[in-house]
Amino acid sequence: MTDSDKPINFIQQIITDDLASGKTSKVVTRFPPEPNGYLHIGHAKSICVNFGLAENFSGGCNLRFDDTNPEKESDEFVQAIIEDVQWLGFKWHGDIRYASDYFDQFYQWACDLIDQDKAYVCELNAEQMREYRGTLTEVGKDSPYRARPATESRALLEQMKAGEIAEGTMTLRAKIDMASPNINMRDPVLYRIKRIAHHRTGNKWNIYPAYDFAHGQEDAIEGVTHSICTLEFAANRPLYNWFIDNLDVPSTPSQYEFGRLNLNYSITSKRKLKQLVDEAHVDAWDDPRMPTISGLRRRGVSPAAIRNFCDSLAVAKTDGVVDMAQFEHFIRDDLNNNARRAMCVLKPLLVTFTNYDQSELFTASSHPQRDDLGSRELPFDRQIYIDQSDFSEDTSLSRKKFKRLVLGEYVRLRGAYIIRADEVIRDNDGEIQEIRASVVENTVGADAPEGVRPRGVIHWVSALNSLDCTVNLYDRLFNQPLPDSAEGSFTDHINPDSLKVLEGCKAELSLANVESTERYQFEREGYFCRDSEAETLVFNCTIGLRDNWKA
């Protein structure tokens, strides 16, 4: 199915109608993250939706940081978000924008609302404000400061701005409707005092606008036509529209909501992801077990896999939970088509050939279906390593159940000879230390001779010409499909086997100088990439060759 054959979603239909009616002449969307954490897979869907809509309708998408809460924000998060958007392959329209660019204008608009008797300075503390607000079933009641004269509120706001009022003692609130069935409309806070330096404006401001007050006005300033957000903001839309209607803004954007991406066996809450980092359940925001875009990148997931997955998801008016296996399908499909092949022995077992004493170089394809990816050379010597799991002394094992090397029988080495296991050498503790074996001559790239029947094909590396490396085997971070909904804290359901570190692995020489951006299929093991943060040779497992979580 081509893009033109796909049914359009409800947002595309709205935009199509707006263009046809003349309501919109050029589509402008925006991706507006708060720089209080790293982006995760849920944000990837929003990125694909907003940038994708702009691209499909020949418009533009702004990258804007809603940096209205300096207490939780930092330039580290800003730079990480910029890198993630670029890595996913998207280009924003014009310069990067910030809510802090508009702080002076927000303040003037707040003063305008006071002058219109539509805002007032309130001295209720946070606990009192919650009490006065009411509940979903009980209307709120007016603040005792609601009737404060505009001149007095203006003077107090100036004092708040100048740093003359203690934090937590005053707020500026909109005067809307304390009996509204929508709690968001019950005199929401516009400004609060925060005596905290901002990562961009420094100590200029002692008050900061609330997200709800800033967001719609940012859209209006930037000429955003379609403000697309996730469903949790649906109840905020009447407030979004109230500000647009009651302020002299340069344009009138419209907000629309779609279902957010929730992925099972995962967490997509920045607050809880931060908890995982702060409590050292993971190493950092870019830990390869994290559902952050930086974590997925470090793990070896490609931008194409993420975008293909996000594009496969419905843009609908309902939330849902997507099975992790669906995401993993797109990861495997991308890697199967694009990852070079290589061999790495995770648990080495030495094999010594008693009838072979030379060195050869075999040539192997880097991908069975991709001639453009070239080939690599495989040194073959008197001693090789195979994986411990690829050998058994149990001669009663059926060929169907064990297609590997068995004492007294044959197996083919990938791209090399057929060999036979002849003898087991043990150490003082009785553990297998070495296999003595025989090479079957003239079997490289040739059929087995009569009377020789290999059980299967296994991978290997030369013992004399291989690389020492460490391999990190990653699994799903949680062992419950919905860790947020399971009994106890979500951290109680962290998978204890989410990371296994294997030291002393042996890799083929072609992997010596690979970049972290290159992805490999370690034959018969899974897909791997070099760890971008390690100083030594460390490979991270992106995903196994097959889904081991199937029931």
Residue range 118-141, pLDDT digits in tens? 999 999 999 999 999 999 999 999
Counting the structural domains of the chain, the total is 3
300 and 380: one domain?
Answer: no
pLDDT reading at 307 higher than 50: yes
- Convert 47-69 to b/e letters by CB count within 10 Å (16 or more is b): bbbbbbbbbebebbbbbbbbbbb
Q: Please report which confidence band the pLDDT of residue 200 belongs to, taking 50, 70 and 90 as the band edges.
A: very high
pLDDT reading at 526 higher than 70: yes
Q: Please report which confidence band the pLDDT of residue 2 belongs to, taking 50, 70 and 90 as the band edges.
A: low
Which among 459, 485, 519 is the end of a domain? 459
Residue 145's domain is classified under what CATH number?
A: 3.40.50.620
CA proximity to 526, closest of 505, 504, 496: 505
Mention every residue, 6+ apart, whose C-beta is less than 8 A from residue 286. Answer: 38, 292, 294, 295, 297, 298, 533
Whether residue 178 lies inside any domain: the answer is yes
Cβ-based burial of 413 (10 A; exposed 0-12, middle 13-18, buried ≥19): buried
| Percent of the residues in the chain that have a pLDDT greater than 70, as a whole number | 99
When pLDDT is averaged across residues 220-240 and rounded to a whole number, the result is: 97
Cβ(383)–Cβ(506) below 8 Å: no
The reported pLDDT for the residue numbered 13 is 97
pLDDT reading at 454 higher than 80: yes
CA torsion sign, 106 to 108 to 110 to 113?
A: negative
19 and 160: one domain?
Answer: yes
Residue 335's domain is classified under what CATH number?
A: 2.40.240.10
63 and 201: one domain?
Answer: yes
The reported pLDDT for the residue numbered 5 is 63
Whether residue 236 lies inside any domain: the answer is yes
The reported pLDDT for the residue numbered 431 is 94
pLDDT reading at 7 higher than 90: no
pLDDT reading at 504 higher than 60: yes
CA proximity to 470, closest of 499, 430, 431, 440: 499
239 and 304: one domain?
Answer: no
47 and 152: one domain?
Answer: yes
Is 194 tagged catalytic? no
Partners of 230 in beta bridges: 258
pLDDT reading at 505 higher than 60: yes
Whether residue 233 lies inside any domain: the answer is yes
Whether residue 149 lies inside any domain: the answer is yes
* Catalytically annotated residue among 173, 192, 200, 270: 270
Which among 459, 478, 495 is the end of a domain? 459
Which among 401, 436, 459 is the end of a domain? 459
pLDDT by residue (tens digit) across 338-394?
A: 999 999 999 999 999 999 999 999 999 999 999 999 999 999 999 999 999 999 999
Whether residue 2 lies inside any domain: the answer is no
Q: Please report which confidence band the pLDDT of residue 551 belongs to, taking 50, 70 and 90 as the band edges.
A: very low
When pLDDT is averaged across residues 33-50 and rounded to a whole number, the result is: 97
Domain that holds residue 396: 348-459
pLDDT reading at 173 higher than 90: yes
23 and 100: one domain?
Answer: yes
Whether residue 3 lies inside any domain: the answer is no
43 and 168: one domain?
Answer: yes
Is 45 tagged catalytic? no
| Percent of the residues in the chain that have a pLDDT greater than 90, as a whole number | 97
Residue 390 has phi, psi (to 5 degrees) of -95, 10
CA distance 393 to 421: 9
The reported pLDDT for the residue numbered 548 is 73
274 and 238: one domain?
Answer: no
Is 270 tagged catalytic? yes
CA distance 502 to 346: 7
CA distance 480 to 492: 10
Q: Please report which confidence band the pLDDT of residue 320 belongs to, taking 50, 70 and 90 as the band edges.
A: confident
214 and 89: one domain?
Answer: yes
Partners of 348 in beta bridges: 387
pLDDT by residue (tens digit) across 83-94?
A: 999 999 999 999
When pLDDT is averaged across residues 150-163 and rounded to a whole number, the result is: 98
pLDDT reading at 205 higher than 90: yes
SS3 of 360, please?
strand
- Convert 518-544 to b/e letters by CB count within 10 Å (16 or more is b): ebbbbbbbbbbbbbbeeeebbbbbbbb
Whether residue 265 lies inside any domain: the answer is no
325 and 474: one domain?
Answer: yes
Whether residue 499 lies inside any domain: the answer is yes
144 and 14: one domain?
Answer: yes
pTM of the model: 0.95
Longest Cα–Cα distance in the chain: 103
136 and 45: one domain?
Answer: yes
The reported pLDDT for the residue numbered 6 is 72
* Catalytically annotated residue among 72, 195, 260, 436: 260
When pLDDT is averaged across residues 431-460 and rounded to a whole number, the result is: 97
Other Cβ atoms less than 10 A from the Cβ of 185: the count is 19
Out of 4-18, 50-64, 429-443, least confident range: 4-18
CA proximity to 76, closest of 217, 261, 307, 277: 277
Mean of pLDDT over the chain = 96
